[in-house]
Chains A and B, each alone.
Chain A
């Protein structure tokens, strides 16, 4: 899920991650990590709480780091608190996911210097088929009325609050399918809480409330 979210957000030409709103892609990556942990049967959620089911490593460095952090903090149980916590300590989820896609030959890792001093990393697209496939799955889940596959529900539900659907379908199609998108988003607790976290962040920025990240 983490790599699929990155594929939705990555700019084909520049190889950078686009973000529709400040931190929205970062929140999408945090949500994707929780979905990956759920798919790996390490956690389960209900309407408010996250439950750790299995503390054994998954084999993914990013997931295992988050799982270890969760295992060490028995005082945090709510989905909302965990999203905020992992958002604060998200380290380099983006870099790890980009590097993994580069390792698979989907992106190319380029390092250049700006003004001869500053290192600049880019990840231009080499093989755009996986990105096309992810976009197609998202579009299909939105435009059809059948029940989508679990992964596609997760993908739509995390892409919407984080503003990534605009990279898949145009505004008029998204507007026409607003009810369907909202239905898919509501199905997953993690997505509802990610959406709430983004709204809360935007509200605090709008009202000038200082936040520490």
Chain B
């Protein structure tokens, strides 16, 4: 399960995601990010409170990033928690996504 909260900071729509981004939560994650991307030109997913991300969660994130690319929006991932950073490092997601250490992006 994931929980999401949104706020606007320095021109970015920030989607704060917490909990576990696994197969059960993947659709919800993709859909909340896509909705933010549809409505904003600059969107950041903050994973500072995300405890876990599985392959399904990564795929959801990539498809949201793909939607942003298609729309011409800026999309970034910020503030990775330690367990999520380990997964990102192993997957090499920094080569595909804009990843920033801290907000604002």
Please give the residue numbers on chain A whose beta carbons come within 8 Å of chain B beta carbons, in ascending order: 38, 41, 44-47, 51, 53, 146-150, 153, 179, 182-183, 186-190, 192
Contact = CB atoms under 8 A, between A and B. Distances in A.
A31 B56 CA distance: 16
Given A38-B55, A38-B56, A47-B87, A147 B23 contact: no
B91 A186 contact: yes
Given A51-B54, A147-B66, A183-B95, 4 more contacts: A53-B24, A146-B69, A186-B90, A187-B96
6 contacts: A47-B87, A51-B22, A147-B66, A147-B69, A187-B93, A189-B55
Contacts of B3: none
Contacts of A147: 62-63, 65-66, 69, 96
A188 B55 contact: yes
B58 interface: yes
Mostly, the A contact residues are: mixed
Interface in B52-105: 52-56, 58-59, 62-63, 65-66, 69, 86-87, 90-93, 95-96
Interface residues of B, number: 23
Contacts of A149: 63, 66
B55 A45 contact: yes
B72 to A, nearest CB: 12
Mostly, the B contact residues are: helix
A34 B59 CA distance: 15
Given A146-B66, A186-B91, A44 B96 contact: no
Contacts of A53: 23-24
Contacts of B24: 53
A187 B92 contact: yes
Interface in B24-51: 24
Contacts of A47: 86-87, 90
A155 to B, nearest CB: 13
Contacts of B62: 147, 150, 153, 187
B1 to A, nearest CB: 14
A146 B52 CA distance: 26
Given A146-B69, A149-B66, A153-B62, A46 B96 contact: no
A187 B69 CA distance: 18
A153 B92 CA distance: 13
Nearest to A179: B95
Contacts of B93: 187
B56 A44 contact: yes
Nearest to A182: B92
A188 B59 CA distance: 9
A148 B95 CA distance: 13
